[in-house]
Amino acid sequence: MDNSAERRKELLAQMRKTYDDKKEPPAVHPRYKSAYGQIYNNETNMRSSGSFGIRLFLSFLLFAAFVIMDRQEYKIMDVDSTRIIKEVQTTPEIDLEEVWKRL
């Protein structure tokens, strides 16, 4: 009788360990670890943010500099806003197939 009682206690402990409510994310692919970390609110599995905010800020800064150059007619290193517009609108003269063949 002692043997079966001990065995039941062990099984109960194993079941509690298996189905405890610690809110830990399950084992998942690393790609989805951040999403599961957000669902389970586990701070250790949270991925750090990317560089999108920095890139967005820099693009706004460059656009503001371009608008100021255009309105005030500034030149920076002999480049003005009309030259920037011209360079953006031009298509490259390099044929990609030729470049690929040279490699």
Whether residues 61 and 37 fall in one domain: no
CB 25 within 8 A of CB 33: yes
Q: What is the pLDDT along the chain (103 residues), one digit of tens a residue?
A: 578 888 888 888 887 777 776 656 566 677 777 777 677 665 554 455 678 989 999 999 999 998 998 888 888 888 888 888 888 888 777 777 777 787 7
pLDDT at 42: 53
pLDDT at 25: 59
* Distance (Å, whole) CA 103 – CA 96: 11
**Which residues span the domain enclosing 28?**
2-45
Whether residues 57 and 16 fall in one domain: no
pLDDT at 49: 67
Please tell me the total count of domains within the chain: 2
